[in-house]
């Protein structure tokens, strides 16, 4: 059976996973009476909750006796490491573009990677049924994007489809016909996408995706470049530099057949398969016949730009809510994560009790922390810091991001002001339809940490911000941090409603009555710039004298809900987020007030 390998690439929320749902449905993958969940490819619990794709996944359909392997990819720039590797497995890509939003930063990122590899993409304009769709302008924007990315004449001559993934139709004209479903897309894939390139020689496969299976151990997915492999065959694994990683035996070969992975007797060249049985082989390694000496060249991965310190939870409440609390289990979990996620980098800190984890952005690291807390881990996490570099002349460089903000015209002034305070340079401002403006900036990553929440507050929730790593450029100087101080608990115990009520004029609270607090824990935000120690355990003095006026019922203002992402963005350099399976608490790095003052004086003396 002949085959085609294709990836679906697009910006976040442009409809990749929904389109894959319809492709599977209309190809006869499901039985007529089969109950099918929405966004079936987002199998991970966090993916379902957040409505985003985090991990790339493969599936396959059969159309007119041709097997089409389809890879669904993440849209967030933080998970771009996944997309870069996936493009090595396929021979073309469907670039999905929202008919209203047009090409966005992540579209630009993935398309540039696809064009560099020489792929000839298909452009699909999705969501043409939206009331604010602007199909003609979006097509022109896509063409301009391809031209700006130095596409060849062949790549610029891209076929275009229009339709709605949600309604399950695609056509060569925005008006339809809609009754053919996705058949035009299938037919275009067969005619436009070349058959897989097959090289001469024995079995070789580049590892692209890695996962752990409780029954089969490590499972590596990739495309067979040359030769074939069978279960029980001896193979070896070569690192990128050609050195031997390990030798082992294939225990099982699995192929994607619809939503299932089915064991097969032989991996044929050009097919995307998963192999089990090896212990050390990882992503970007070459899995090959023992006779092969040279490794397959893998795509270089963009460097991490943000780092956090993960440490053992040493608060007075440590170990009361989670069961994985020691340095050793945290270390093992982080190293296991780094094996499968090549965009992550793990280093041991100088104090040996903490680890510096570097990644593409706060979202990627926040997802890792969320997964760990659900697995029963307790840990302390520092504020995200950017990864700085020095060039040959010794000049300090920092990561700069391209930021696109879509905002209502009335709120554009405050956005421009706040971005300039964060040392951002505005590149362009243009209307994007419906009394909205599109603002494009180059901004330091440092200045963007924690800005998402502030942006939504300033624009009443109407702004949409998209970010993409641009380059390392000269350091832009100091950027001011949080302006307000914090309210710090001075004793350990349970918070009392009367005490919280009395402290309301000092600033908004982050805790509720009955919550456990400890000395050094942050319980609220101070209205002024300095930190203030407060007593949240102080109850009302009761006497036996009756008064004519009844005591007023204590009515508390609802506290600020600090989610994980909001906490990481809000804390200062001397503060930590304590993460447990049940709670997210904020605290000072040094809990004892006297020691805290002493360390502050030492820092000031050094400065």
Residue 212's pLDDT is what? 73
DSSP 198: -
| CA–CA distance, 522 with 574 (Å, rounded to integer) | 12
Residue 134's pLDDT is what? 83
Residues contributing to the annotated binding site for GTP: 13-18, 126-129
Residues contributing to the annotated binding site: 13-18, 126-129
| CA–CA distance, 159 with 181 (Å, rounded to integer) | 18
> What dihedral do alpha carbons 500, 505, 510, 512 form, nearest 10°?
20
SS3 469: strand
Q: How many residues does the chain have?
A: 607
Which residues in the chain come in under a pLDDT of 50? 30-44, 46-55, 78, 548-551
Question: Is the CA virtual torsion 330, 569, 419, 133 positive or negative?
Answer: positive
- Please state whether 232 falls in left (phi above 0), alpha (psi between -120 and 50) or beta: left
Q: Provide φ and ψ at 449, rounded to 5°.
A: -65, 120
SS3 38: coil
Supply the mean pLDDT for the chain. Answer: 81
Helix (H) or strand (E) holding 368: helix 362-374
Q: What is the pTM of this model?
A: 0.73
Cross-strand partners of 95: 9, 123
Domains recognised in the chain with CATH numbers: 3-192 (3.40.50.300), 204-288 (2.40.30.10), 390-474 (3.30.70.240), 486-606 (2.40.50.250)
CB atoms within 10 A of CB 345: 15
Instruction: Provide the CB-side half-sphere exposure for 291 (13 A, CA).
Output: 6
Whether 75 and 51 have beta carbons less than 8 Å apart is answered as no
Enumerate residues 6+ apart whose C-beta is below 8 A from 186: 23, 27, 63, 64, 68
Burial 425-445 (b: 16+ CB within 10 A, else e): eeeeeeebeeebbbbebbbbb
Q: Provide φ and ψ at 215, rounded to 5°.
A: -100, -35
Q: List pLDDT tens digits, range 424-457.
A: 899 888 887 677 888 889 999 888 887 877 888 8
For helices 16-26 and 183-192, angle between their N-to-C axes, nearest 10 degrees: 100
Round to the nearest angstrom and report the end-to-end CA distance of the chain. 70
Residue 578's pLDDT is what? 92
| CA–CA distance, 74 with 95 (Å, rounded to integer) | 13
């Amino acid at each position: 059976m002949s085959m085609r390998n294709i990836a679906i690439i697009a910006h976040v929320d442009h409809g990749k996973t929904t389109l894959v749902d319809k492709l599977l449905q209309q190809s006869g993958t499901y039985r007529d009476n089969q109950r099918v969940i929405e966004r079936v490819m987002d199998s991970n619990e966090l993916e379902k909750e957040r409505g985003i794709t985090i991990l790339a996944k493969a599936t396959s359909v059969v159309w007119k006796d041709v097997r089409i392997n389809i890879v669904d990819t993440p849209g967030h720039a933080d998970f771009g490491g996944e997309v870069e590797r996936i493009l090595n497995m396929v021979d073309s890509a469907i670039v999905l573009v929202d008919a209203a939003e047009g090409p966005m930063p992540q579209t630009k990122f993935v398309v540039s990677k696809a064009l560099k590899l020489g792929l000839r993409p298909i452009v699909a304009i999705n969501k043409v049924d939206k009331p604010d769709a602007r199909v003609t302008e979006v097509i022109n924007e896509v063409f301009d994007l391809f031209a700006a990315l130095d596409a060849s004449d062949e790549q610029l001559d891209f076929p275009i489809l229009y339709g709605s993934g949600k309604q399950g139709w695609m056509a060569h004209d925005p008006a339809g016909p809609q009754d053919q479903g996705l058949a035009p897309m299938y037919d275009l894939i067969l005619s436009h996408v070349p058959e897989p390139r097959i090289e001469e020689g024995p079995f070789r496969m580049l590892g692209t995706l890695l996962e752990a299976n409780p029954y089969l151990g490590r499972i590596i997915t990739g495309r067979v470049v040359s030769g074939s492999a069978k279960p029980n065959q001896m193979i070896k694994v070569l690192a990128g530099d050609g050195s031997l990683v390990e030798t082992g035996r294939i225990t099982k070969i699995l192929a994607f057949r619809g939503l299932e992975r089915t064991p097969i007797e032989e991996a044929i060249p050009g097919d995307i398969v998963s192999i089990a049985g090896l212990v050390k082989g990882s992503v970007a390694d070459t899995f090959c016949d023992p006779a092969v000496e040279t490794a397959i060249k893998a795509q270089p991965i963009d460097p991490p730009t943000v780092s956090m310190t993960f440490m053992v939870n040493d608060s007075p409440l440590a170990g009361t809510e989670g069961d994985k609390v020691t340095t050793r289990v945290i270390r093992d979990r982080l190293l296991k994560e780094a094996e499968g996620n090549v965009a992550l980098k793990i280093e041991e800190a100088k104090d040996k009790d903490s680890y510096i984890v570097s990644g593409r952005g706060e979202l990627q690291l926040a997802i890792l922390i969320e997964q760990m807390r659900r697995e029963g881990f307790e840990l302390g996490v520092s504020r995200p810091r950017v990864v700085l570099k020095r060039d040959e002349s010794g000049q300090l460089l920092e990561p700069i991001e391209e930021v696109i903000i879509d905002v209502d015209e009335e709120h554009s002034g405050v956005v421009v002001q706040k971005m300039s305070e964060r040392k951002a340079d505005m590149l362009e401002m243009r209307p994007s339809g419906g009394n909205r403006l599109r603002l494009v900036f180059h901004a330091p990553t440092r200045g963007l940490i924690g800005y998402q929440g502030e942006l939504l507050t300033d624009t009443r929730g109407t702004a949409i911000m998209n970010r993409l790593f641009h380059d390392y450029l000269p350091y832009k100087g100091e950027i001011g941090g949080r302006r307000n101080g914090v309210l710090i608990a001075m004793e350990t115990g349970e918070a009392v409603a009367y005490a919280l009520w009395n402290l309301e004029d000092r600033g908004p609270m982050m805790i509720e009555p009955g919550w456990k607090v400890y000395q050094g824990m942050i319980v609220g935000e101070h209205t002024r710039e300095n930190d203030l120690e407060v007593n949240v355990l102080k109850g009302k003095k009761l006497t036996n004298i009756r008064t004519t006026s009844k005591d007023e019922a204590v009515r508390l203002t609802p506290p600020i809900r600090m989610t994980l992402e909001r906490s990481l963005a809000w804390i200062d350099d001397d503060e930590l987020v304590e993460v447990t399976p049940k709670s997210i608490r904020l605290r000072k790095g040094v809990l004892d007030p006297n020691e805290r003052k002493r360390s502050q004086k030492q820092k000031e003396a050094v400065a």
